[in-house]
Amino acid sequence: MGAVLAPLNFRRGVWDWSRPYIMGVVNVTPDSFSDGGRFHDPTAAIEHGVALAAAGADCLDVGGEATNPRAQPIDAAEELRRVLPVLEGLAARVAVPLSIDTTKAAVARAALGAGAEIVNDVSGGLFDPDLPAVAADAGAAYVCGHLRGRSLPEVFAAEVAPAWTEVADELQARLDALPAGLRARTLVDPGLGFGKGASGEGNAALLRHAGDLARRLGRPVLVGPSRKRFLAELVGSRETAALDAGTVGACLAAAASGAHVLRVHDAGLLRAALIVYFAIRGP
């Protein structure tokens, strides 16, 4: 698993990094790139999250605002209207940690009060500098994502693939700027698909060097290749089945490199693949 790391303790379990952990995606949005609208209704989203946990997800990442190039921005009030009923419903029905996928401090604060234990910030604090402090004050875990820009339009306007070492250096700067004590509860995410180049190679290189990133930064690495555009280019299809198969391939390669958390839409498919992978590879 790469770097030797202290366990991450949650109210609903401990991650000791002895294996890769699966983060299941619960999109409560009408415009997500892969499943927009399918789980926009809170009841449907809750049932989907329950199913993901039953299928093997080690945590559930609930998001109310899409972050693809065509997504329309929403305010904090609308984001909270979408996610709070889902978080509250899942907190009563699943035994795995809950994560809030947001770039807004106000949303994170309310979500942590509703049962979330992880703040997944794709901007690494660039969109809302107050967000890391919210996670720190709550004693939550924090996912520090990598991108370049102060808004999604800025991020997607410049599709230049940085080297993994550049990503590492920029994540290091963000780790250094975190509130005291939060770094020990922080995971890093190289930000697959967020302005990482029009071809698949820049994203593939980040997956290939996931373990190097962990060793260099001394933090667990989360990767989120699931159904991303670069996979469609690699497999030559935008069909969900092909993208999910490509996602499994990307996740297994990342796990072999040393990634610690794998964020996916289909937790059951990845769990089965990981069982077989480790059974064959051995300890």
User: Whose CA is closest to 211, among 153, 249, 256, 175?
Assistant: 256
Indicate which residue of 82, 174, 185, 228 is catalytic: 228
Indicate which residue of 82, 227, 263, 271 is catalytic: 263
How far is it, in rounded angstroms, from Cα 116 to Cα 24?
A: 14
219 is catalytic: no
Q: How far is CA 276 from each of CA 19, 80, 232, 248, 269, rounded to the nearest angstrom?
A: 13, 39, 25, 12, 11
Token pair for 223: 């990767």
Token pair for 109: 């604060």
How far is it, in rounded angstroms, from Cα 283 to Cα 272?
A: 17
For 216-219, which contacts have Cβ atoms below 8 Å and span 24 or more sequence positions?
216/168, 216/172, 217/168, 217/171, 217/172, 217/175, 217/188, 218/3, 218/5, 219/3, 219/5, 219/175, 219/183, 219/186, 219/187, 219/188
Return the CA Rg of the chain: 17
196 is catalytic: no
Token pair for 129: 């500098």
How far is it, in rounded angstroms, from Cα 38 to Cα 48?
A: 10
How far is it, in rounded angstroms, from Cα 210 to Cα 263?
A: 14
| Bridge partner list, 14 | 9
Residues marked active site are found at 228, 263
